[in-house]
Structure 1
C-alpha cells in the first residue's frame, strides 16, 4: 500500500509490530463486526435509556447508568477480540 497509512498501520508502527495488508475478505469481516457492534451498543443504550426514563430513585438511576456503560464496554471489547482474530487469520 502506498500513500497515506491508516490508523491501524500507524498504531502498529508505533508499537513495533508489523502491519500486514488486509484482504478484501478481512476488510469486509471487520466492517461487518463494526456494524454489528454499533447495532448492539445502540440496542443496549435504548434499553437502558428506557429504564432510566422511568426511574425516579437517583441511586437506582446511577446503577442503571453504570450497568449501561459496562454493557457497552463489554460489547466493544468482544468486537475488538473478533477483529483481532480476523486480522491474525487471513
Structure 2
C-alpha cells in the first residue's frame, strides 16, 4: 500500500471502534493481493477466520467473527463516504 494511503488506518480505527480493540498482524502466507498491488491498486487483507485452518477440513468461520468484520466494514464505509 502506498505510504500515507488512508485505507489501513481507516480499517484499523473502524475495527477498534466497532469491536473494542485493535486487530493488526502480518500474514505468514502469500495471497493474490500481490497481483493487485503490482498493478498499483491499494490492497489490504482483512477478514474473519483462522489461517491455521484455511484450505483444510477444519476451515470455518464463526458467526461472531462474521459480525465483527461486518461491523468494521460498515463503520469504515460510513467514515469514508460520510453520513448526514
Q: Same fold (TM over 0.5)?
A: no
Give the TM-score of the pair, scaled to structure 2: 0.33
By percentage of residues, which structure has more helix? 1
Based on CA coordinates, which of the two structures has the bigger radius of gyration?
A: 1
Give the TM-score of the pair, scaled to structure 1: 0.31
